[in-house]
Amino acid sequence: MKVRSFLAPVAVAALLATSVAACGSGSSASTDKPRVIATTTILGDLVSQVAGDSVEVEVLMPPGADPHEFEASVAQAARIRSASLVVANGLGLEERLEGTLEAASADGVTVYEVGPELDPQPMEEESGEHLEAEAGAEPEGHDHGEFDPHVWLDPDRMAMAAGLVATQLADATGLDPAPFQERAARYAADAIAAGQEADAILAAVPADQRLLVTNHDALGYFARRFNLTVLGTVIPGGSTLAEPSAADISALADALAATDVNAVFSENTVSPRLVEAVATEVGRNIIVVELFTDSLGEPGSGADTYAGLITTDATLVANGLLGR
């Protein structure tokens, strides 16, 4: 278990607006409840549902924020240093939050990184073949390291995460663990059900069309869980902070031209410019479909909860690959 001492879509904006810094107590000055901070909207959904009303949950990132490049404000950094618990993904996902979390470490705040507990897979095994015309690594400073951090895109892994987070909540707050575990069991059941619904949705896609091309290498876990293949990614590696070359884009377009793929996939946290360039270069009609990958969607998007994200993405992928 990786626990380091350092520093839901429902009303995320309100949580951010109403959170008040409390000095050294780990609780909210406005409610006297323990304050727990989740880094991403996806973890915010998990923590909020498992924590219930006994804990004040704050989500650092708003819907649509890219976790690879998000930086905490001064006020957010202060709240992190006074939290009872911070729940982070880890595995290098929150690239520009690392300094803030390390600073909080000196203040004795516990950060629980859930990603390393969910059987993370090596990037090279999980992401399929990234088609590059020129050999080379990601630009220095933008390498996640050995493991793919996008573990939440497998609902079975997120079902596991619920119980782990419940244990951390009980340990950090000193509250009765039973309600946390009960809510975690419900969350896990919902995640598993969402995966089963996604299976049914994607069953309509023929085997020779189950190919994914997207902005960055985020869909490895999703592809493995739902029997899809990542043909390639526009941005090399698992971070959004790298840049492809013109040769990379051309090579990916050539690979697409040799298939019957009807769609390529953009993401709600990344500009579609590069993936649109690939689609244009193929020379036939290929649609660009936006998925919800590194963040939940806005309320009403269908992806404003974790379970909704999984089933909405499955529907978008199925419709896109089928040319609907």
Q: Strands 85-88 and 211-214: what pairing?
A: unpaired
Condensed to tens digits (0 to 9), the pLDDT of residues 226-243 reads 999 999 888 866 555 567
Confidence category of residue 28, pLDDT binned at 50, 70, 90: low
Q: Do domains 3-177 and 191-321 have the same CATH topology?
A: yes
Confidence category of residue 19, pLDDT binned at 50, 70, 90: very low
* Helix or strand (DSSP H, E) at 35: strand 35-38
Condensed to tens digits (0 to 9), the pLDDT of residues 29-40 reads 556 899 999 999
* Domain 191-321 class, CATH top level: alpha beta
Structure tokens at 44: 């915010």
Residue-level pLDDT at 265: 95
Structure tokens at 45: 């959904």
**Listed range (69-83, 97-111, 137-151) with the worst mean pLDDT:** 137-151
Beta bridge partners of residue 270, listed in sequence order: 267
Does 3-177 carry CATH code 3.30.930.10?
no
- Alpha helices (H) in 41-146, listed in sequence order: 41-51, 74-80, 98-105, 123-126
Residue-level pLDDT at 9: 39
User: pTM (2 decimals)?
Assistant: 0.84
In the chain, where the domains are located: 3-177, 191-321
